[in-house]
Structure 1
Amino acid sequence: MSKPGQLVLIALRKMIASGELAAGERLMEIPTAELFGVSRMPVRMAFRTLEQEGLLVRFGGRGFQVRSVSANDIAGAVEVRGVLEGLAARLTAERGLSPEGRAALELCLLQGDELFDKGFVTEDDLEAYHDLNMRFHQVIIEGSHNPAIADALARNDHLPFASVTALAVDRKDMAREYRRFNYAHMQHHSVFDALVNGQGARAEAMMREHANATLRYAEIFSSAVASERMRVILRAD
């Protein structure tokens, strides 16, 4: 996906998580493109990705509608991902990382260190983290040599905020986002240490805990439902 598409995707995902876009709201390409100052193509790609993630549903052949999602929906999907990725980490630790897998994980850790060592992050940094985070998780899943795990994760990824790619960023509080993502990166280091030392139970526990970082979306969602904040409505003229 293009950079404009990524920016629109992350922004809309955050608006849905925070409740700015309420369940049932209609989203149309043209007003959304005008809101973000982009062409219709990035918006179209973002809509399709959010549909795959279970956050949008098609509305009568024209545009999309925000799906009704509860904090329990998010928590349940994240719990399943934690179990599956934890199993993958345990199997990978017990089987042993391949030289290629170890090198790939070490590169992810090095790139992450470079992002966070300066003490702050930009939106470009978090886009880069999104990519290296995907690679880190994928190497572990492949290292398990259990295709059923990947298949089960692919099905679970269609649930709201369940996918490891479902990155929502609060641009108004980048200091907090730095702390959140830096903590997740430190967890990557701990998972890697368990993997290279063949500590299956520890690797499994760390990956399950790592998935819980996503539960912040559930907390945001609960807060949004409880409050009567102003909602941003995108609809056709």
Structure 2
Amino acid sequence: MSKPGQLVLVALRKMIASGELAAGERLMEIPTAQLFGVSRMPVRMAFRTLEQEGLLVPFGGRGYQVRSVSPGDIAGAVEVRGVLEGLAARQAAERGLSDEARVVLERCLVEGDQLFAKGYVTEDDLEVYHDLNMRFHHVIVEGSHNPAIADALARNDHLPFASVNALAVDREDMAREYRRFNYAHMQHHSVFDALVSRQGARAEAIMREHANATLRYAEIFSSATENARMKVILRAQ
């Protein structure tokens, strides 16, 4: 996806999680493109991705509607991802990492170390982290040599905020985002150590806990509902 498309995607995820875009809200390409100052193509790609993630549903053939999501929906889907990725990590540790997998994981750790070393992050930094995070998780799932895990994760990814690809950034509190993502990266180091040490139970436990970082989306969503935050309405005129 292009950079404009990625920016729109991340922004819309956050707006849905925060309640700025409430359940049932309609989204149309032209007003959304105007809001973000981009062409219609990045918006179209962002909409399709959000539909795949279970956050939008087609509406009337001319746009999309925000799906009704509860904090419990998010928490349940994230818990399932943690169980599945934990199982993948345990099996990868017990089987032993290939040399190629180890190199990829080590490269992800080095890139992450460089990213967080300066003590803060920008939105561009978090896009870089998003890419290396996807690679890290993908290698672990592949390392399990269990296709059933990948299949189950693919189905679970269609639930709101369940996918490891679902990155929502709070631009209003980047200091907190730094702490959250830096902590997640430290968990990458821990799970890597467990994998190379062939400690299956430890690797499984860390990956299950690692998934809990996503539960902040459930907290944001719950807070937005309780406080009835002002909505940003995107409708065709």
| 1:218 correspondence with 2:181 | no
- CA drift of 1:189 comes to 0.2
| 1:121 correspondence with 2:118 | no
Calculate the TM-score normalised by the size of structure 2: 1.00
Runs of 4+ residues over 4 Å off in structure 1: none
- CA drift of 1:172 comes to 1.2
Deviates more, 1:90-99 or 1:221-230: 221-230
Aligned residues: 237
Root mean square deviation, CA, Å: 0.4
SS at match of 2:172: coil
Match of 1:199? 199
SS at match of 1:173: helix
Match of 2:60? 60
Match of 2:88? 88
User: Matched residues in 2 for 1:123 and 1:159: separation?
Assistant: 25
- CA drift of 1:71 comes to 0.4
- CA drift of 1:229 comes to 1.6
Match of 1:75? 75
User: Matched residues in 1 for 2:113 and 2:76: separation?
Assistant: 31
Match of 2:100? 100
Calculate the TM-score normalised by the size of structure 1: 1.00
SS at match of 2:65: strand
Residues 93-172 of structure 1 aligned to structure 2 (within 5 Å):
93-172=93-172
Match of 2:50? 50
SS at match of 1:172: helix
User: Matched residues in 1 for 2:80 and 2:228: separation?
Assistant: 31
Structure 1, unpaired ranges of 5+: none
Residues 170-181 of structure 1 aligned to structure 2 (within 5 Å):
170-181=170-181
User: Matched residues in 2 for 1:228 and 1:58: separation?
Assistant: 25
Structure 2, unpaired ranges of 5+: none
Match of 1:229? 229
User: Matched residues in 1 for 2:178 and 2:213: separation?
Assistant: 13
Deviation per residue, 1:167-199 (Å, 9 max, x gap): 000111111110100000000000000000000
Query: Counterpart amino acid of 2:129?
Result: Y
- CA drift of 1:228 comes to 2.0
Query: Counterpart amino acid of 2:175?
Result: A
